Every structure is written in structure tokens, then in C-alpha cells.
């Protein structure tokens, strides 16, 4: 059965199996349903019959408790640990998260975890949503003995399971047999292994503290070297050891620092991701919160990315722990377009390589062909701090006949800052409600002052053009750049009449050779 069918089937079961639990449906009934599932499972194991996917999903539906206005308070206060998913049927991210939530419920039950998973249609049961403190969708909340705690893990089934187990008493999985090690490898593709002669002492305590502090990566500890080698073949035979394992060419990375919480967490933060991480809705929070000082984004279609991947991984290996490399499907509008818009490339279908510093306060663009050598040079300059910050710009316009000059990012220096004339600049955006009225006023002013030899009028579309010396957040904005002081533009009121604007201009600028042919 395909993944898409699995997704739709899970979603159908979670949304359509929407029984309302009445006042008589106490917690005991929920436990009876689980007991029934266990009995059926034992019978099928005895008969050698494997459960169908539909039956597994039906079981997940029973495990994921349905909340409503009547039973919510009783459920969250009736168990030690309850993880609640607040969703809305119309929310696409809720729909995407639900199958992962159901899968996590199955896995947690198999582990024997005491956590109860429950879901609430907050759009339908507003009273219950208000009681739980759910204000947006989807929302995950952990209730410990009735007290709410925010969810801080990832959004795949594995992420939910790891986070839940850590928060309910199992921050570290201990491996004691070869069979357990082999089973562990089947379930976990990324994990942090710690080998200790004894599970005690300062170094081990720091390891456990790191396991509790981390939200996304499974920690495992082992004592016997031969067992540790099943998980990490090249493990050191003596002394305490830490290493991270991932399912990719760069599979094993050993830790060589001090066994301190902060250092272990730093090592994990820089090494838990693949050499090249594909950005998805599910991992976006984790990716955006990465502490990596620099992030290089590659926007490409699937085929182009496959052709580039080997070279990209080689470059990523060179800059490991210095740059995080992220791939985004350029056809995914929700993920790619917000970034591409920052470069004025939202309509691009060709591969785009861009970079950001931590916090995305500065952005950079590879303006040459995305070959391995060009990407490597781009990354070297990024790390060295010698890349020029990218500011988006429209093409240079022809202003020969324009009464109001059109300025773009590339011409801002020449037309505004380096101009020997006084300049009135209109800063607008196409989506601005009041910009059209201001534009008409600017055009009338330009006609009024058209005979002036030292005063010009210009406009710039701030949605498509940037410049480090143009920091405007309100639109429309009118700025008067005086010829003798371009560093301190004077802000003119966009709510003034034409005569008031003219008076303000005349107050600050001595207009030369003016012949007023048009009355204001």
C-alpha cells in the first residue's frame, strides 16, 4: 500500500471514527477497549495471522482518545501523563500531523509507556479547547497530573515517541543484549550512543542530563564493548565514549570533547542533521532553531537536486559544523516561496543557492552556475565573512521620459545618495492601500516643480527592491533627501494636502528656476 494511501486511510479513520464519549463513558471503558485489542492481538499471534494495516489503524484510533466538552477535564486529570493534540478539520497542518500522532500512539503502547494520547477537535468543542488553553492549530500539550506543559519536540511519529518517552521517565534506553541492540537498530536511524564502564559518576550524570535536555534525539547507553560495536563498529575499546549515528554516508561521528552537558548539547546540535537536510513542514521548527552560524539553502526540483547531491554532500563534509546545508523542493510553494521572495526570485524554476546567517539578518546569493567548485567558493567566502550581502533589485529602468524617476535597488546609490540634487522619494508597495493616492500627489508635485533644475521626484517599490540605507516599514512613506545631507532624510507627511507638501518642500529646499505652470 502506498504512503499516500496510508496517509488518507489514517486520516479517514481519525476524522470519521468520531464517537462522542458520554458521561457514562468513564476511563474504565477506555481501558476495556485496550484490553480487547490486546486479547485480539494475542489470538492472532496464536493463529499466525498478521493484522492488516486497517486493523492496526483502528487500534490506533482506539488508543488515541477522543475528547469533547464533557470528558476533557476528567481525562486529563485521570492519568499521570496525557498528551493532547488540538486540531481543526480545516487545518492542513493538523491533517498532516494526525497520522504521525496515531503512529506514535501505537509505538508508545508497544513500548509499554504509560502516556495516554488524546485528540480534540477544538473548532467543534470550543469549551474544552478553552479549558486546555488551545488557541491555534495544531497544538500539542502534555498534561502531568492535570498540569499543562508545552510540547517542544518534533512532529514525526518518531519525534513524538522520543520526546514523550523522555518526558515520562525514559530519557536513555539501555542495551544489555545483542538482540536488543539489533532490534534497536531496526527502530532508530539517528541516535546518540554512550558507552560507560559503569552507569554512574560525573561523566555519566552529564550524559543523562543531556538526554533529558534534548527534545529530538534518542540516547542509548551500553557497557559491554562488543554490544556497543553492534551500534557503533569503530567505538573505542577503553574509556567512556560518545558518538552519534545517522542513516547516511556520514554515518558515524565520534565526540572528542569534555563530558559536560553544554558541550554534549553543542556537539549534538551541530551533528544530528544529515549532511544535507531536506526541509519539510514536519522538521521546519527543528531546522529553523539550529544553532549553526550559517545556513546554505539549495532550491531545486527533484531531478536537479539528485544530480547535485553527491557534489553538495562533499562540500557539506568540508564545512561540517560550520554550515548547515538545507534542500528545499522549489515546487513546494509553502516552503520555497517565502525564501525565494526574499531574493525576488519567487517565480524561478531553476536551481537557486542562497545563504543566511544565524537569525537570517543577512542573506547571500550565489549568482554563478551552481557547480561544486562555485558552491565551495561561495561557502568559503561565507565562512570567512567576505561575501557581499544580497539586496534584491528590479532591472534598471529607462527613465528618459519619466516625470517621476523609477529607482531600483541597483540604482539607489546613483539616483539618491550620490545625486547632487535634492530628491523627494516615494516609497511604496503594490499591496499598500493608501499608496495610490500618494502616488497621484507625487506626480502632481513633479509636474508643479518640473522646471526646477535642482529638485527631482522619484519612487521605489520596497517589495521588490532593497538597500541597506533604506529602512522603511510604513507605506507609503515620503522622504526628502537634501543635496547637502543624504544621510538624514526628512520624512514628509503623506496625509498633507498638495499645498502643505509644497510648503514643506520649499521650507527645506531652495528651488531654482521654478516656473509654476500647474496650480496645486
The residues carrying an active-site annotation are 91, 432, 435
Output phi, psi for 84, to 5 deg.
-110, 130
Q: Please state, as a whole number, how many other Cβ atoms lie within 10 Å of the Cβ of residue 201.
A: 13
Direct distance between the N- and C-terminal alpha carbons of the chain, in angstroms, rounded to an integer: 73
User: Does residue 141 sit in helix, strand or coil?
Assistant: strand
- CB neighbours of 1 closer than 8 A, spacing ≥ 6? 9, 53
HSE-up of 257 (CA within 13 Å, CB side)? 13
Q: Please state, as a whole number, how many other Cβ atoms lie within 10 Å of the Cβ of residue 93.
A: 16
- Cα torsion angle, 140, 144, 149, 155, sign: negative
Helix (H), strand (E) at residue 446 = helix 435-448
Helix (H), strand (E) at residue 278 = strand 276-278
Among candidates 90, 91, 88, which has minimal Cα distance to 119?
A: 88
d(CA 260, CA 363): 34
Q: Please state, as a whole number, how many other Cβ atoms lie within 10 Å of the Cβ of residue 451.
A: 14
Maximum C-alpha span of the chain:
102
User: Does residue 416 sit in helix, strand or coil?
Assistant: helix
HSE-up of 187 (CA within 13 Å, CB side)? 21
Among candidates 416, 325, 419, which has minimal Cα distance to 376?
A: 325
Amino acid at each position: 500500500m502506498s504512503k499516500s494511501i496510508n496517509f488518507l486511510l489514517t486520516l479517514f479513520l481519525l476524522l470519521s471514527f468520531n464517537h462522542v464519549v458520554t458521561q457514562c463513558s468513564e476511563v474504565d471503558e477506555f481501558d476495556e477497549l485496550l484490553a480487547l485489542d490486546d486479547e485480539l492481538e494475542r489470538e492472532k499471534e496464536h493463529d499466525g495471522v498478521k493484522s492488516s494495516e486497517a486493523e492496526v489503524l483502528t487500534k490506533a484510533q482506539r488508543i488515541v482518545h477522543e475528547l469533547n466538552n464533557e470528558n476533557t477535564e476528567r481525562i486529563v486529570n485521570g492519568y499521570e501523563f496525557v498528551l493532547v493534540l488540538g486540531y481543526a478539520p480545516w487545518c492542513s497542518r493538523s491533517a498532516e500531523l494526525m497520522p504521525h500522532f496515531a503512529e506514535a500512539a501505537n509505538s508508545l503502547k508497544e513500548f509499554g509507556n504509560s502516556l495516554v494520547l488524546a485528540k480534540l477537535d477544538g473548532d467543534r468543542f470550543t469549551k474544552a479547547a478553552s479549558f486546555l488553553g488551545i488557541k491555534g492549530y495544531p497544538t500539542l500539550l502534555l498534561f502531568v497530573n492535570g498540569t499543562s506543559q508545552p510540547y517542544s519536540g518534533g512532529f514525526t511519529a518518531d519525534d513524538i515517541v522520543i520526546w514523550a518517552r523522555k518526558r515520562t521517565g525514559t530519557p536513555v534506553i539501555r542495551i544489555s543484549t545483542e538482540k536488543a541492540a539489533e532490534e534497536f537498530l531496526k527502530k532508530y536511524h539517528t541516535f546518540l550512543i554512550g558507552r560507560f564502564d559503569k552507569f554512574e559518576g560525573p561523566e555519566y550524570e552529564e550524559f543523562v542530563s543531556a538526554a533529558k535536555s534534548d527534545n529530538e534525539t534518542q540516547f542509548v547507553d551500553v557497557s559491554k564493548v562488543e554490544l556497543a560495536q553492534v551500534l557503533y563498529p569503530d567505538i573505542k575499546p577503553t574509556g567512556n565514549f560518545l558518538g552519534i549515528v545517522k542513516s547516511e554516508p556520514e554515518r558515524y561521528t565520534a565526540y572528542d570533547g569534555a563530558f559536560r552537558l553544554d558541550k554534549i548539547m553543542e556537539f549534538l546540535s551541530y551533528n544530528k542533521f544529515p549532511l544535507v537536510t531536506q526541509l519539510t513542514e514536519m522538521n521546519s521548527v527543528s531546522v529553523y532553531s539550529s544553532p549553526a552560524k550559517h545556513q546554505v539553502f539549495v532550491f531545486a526540483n527533484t531531478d536537479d537536486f539528485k544530480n547535485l547531491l553527491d557534489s553538495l554532500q562533499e562540500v557539506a563534509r568540508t564545512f561540517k559544523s560550520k554550515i548547515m546545508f538545507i534542500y528545499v523542493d522549489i515546487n513546494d510553494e509553502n516552503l520555497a516561496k517565502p525564501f525565494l521572495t526574499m531574493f525576488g526570485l519567487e517565480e524561478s524554476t531553476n536551481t537557486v543557492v542562497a545563504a543566511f546567517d544565524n537569525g537570517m539578518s543577512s542573506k547571500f546569493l550565489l549568482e554563478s552556475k551552481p557547480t561544486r567548485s562555485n558552491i565551495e567558493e561561495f561557502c568559503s567566502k561565507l565562512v570567512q565573512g567576505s561575501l557581499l550581502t544580497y539586496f534584491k533589485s528590479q532591472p534598471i529602468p529607462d527613465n528618459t521620459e519619466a516625470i517621476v524617476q523609477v529607482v531600483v535597488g541597483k540604482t539607489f546609490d546613483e539616483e539618491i545618495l550620490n545625486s547632487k540634487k535634492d530628491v523627494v522619494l516615494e516609497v511604496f508597495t503594490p499591496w499598500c492601500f493608501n499608496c495610490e493616492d500618494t502616488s497621484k500627489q507625487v506626480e502632481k508635485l513633479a509636474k508643479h516643480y518640473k522646471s526646477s533644475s535642482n529638485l527631482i521626484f522619484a519612487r521605489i517599490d520596497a517589495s521588490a527592491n532593497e538597500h541597506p540605507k533604506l529602512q522603511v516599514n510604513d507605506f507609503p512613506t515620503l522622504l526628502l533627501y537634501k543635496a547637502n545631507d543624504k544621510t538624514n532624510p526628512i520624512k514628509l507627511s503623506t496625509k498633507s494636502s498638495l499645498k502643505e507638501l509644497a510648503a514643506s518642500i520649499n521650507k527645506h529646499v531652495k528651488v531654482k528656476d521654478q516656473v509654476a505652470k500647474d496650480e496645486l
